[in-house]
Amino acid sequence: MPYSRMPVVKMHLTAAAASLHAEACETGGKLPANMERIAHLVDDALREADREAPTDVSEQLPDDSASP
């Protein structure tokens, strides 16, 4: 299995989300519009990173197919 950078990517996205959350707390929950958009993008990226990669099962045979 090749080395995956995904754990590092998730760590950086999580740090960005935490920083944006801290900024929102400091400003009474009101972020500038551009930071609000960034926060949504970071949230979307984290959700996507948590999704499992699809597995191609089109060429896999069922276990019982090996029996005559």
Q: What is the pLDDT of residue 14?
A: 97
Q: Which two tokens stand for residue 54?
A: 């699809």
pLDDT of 55 > 60? The answer is no
Q: What is the pLDDT of residue 47?
A: 94
- In terms of Cα–Cα distance, which of 1, 2, 4, 43 is closest to 20? 43
pLDDT of 61 > 90? The answer is no
Q: What is the pLDDT of residue 2?
A: 72
Residues 44, 47: Cα–Cα separation, whole Å: 5
The angle subtended at Cα 13 by Cα 10 and Cα 14, nearest 5°, is 85
Question: If residue 19 lies in a helix (H) or strand (E), which one and from where to where?
Answer: helix 6-26
Distance between start and end Cα atoms, the chain: 33
Q: What is the pLDDT of residue 16?
A: 97
Q: What is the pTM of this model?
A: 0.68
Q: What is the pLDDT of residue 52?
A: 72
Mean pLDDT across 34-44: 96
Q: Which two tokens stand for residue 4?
A: 């995956």
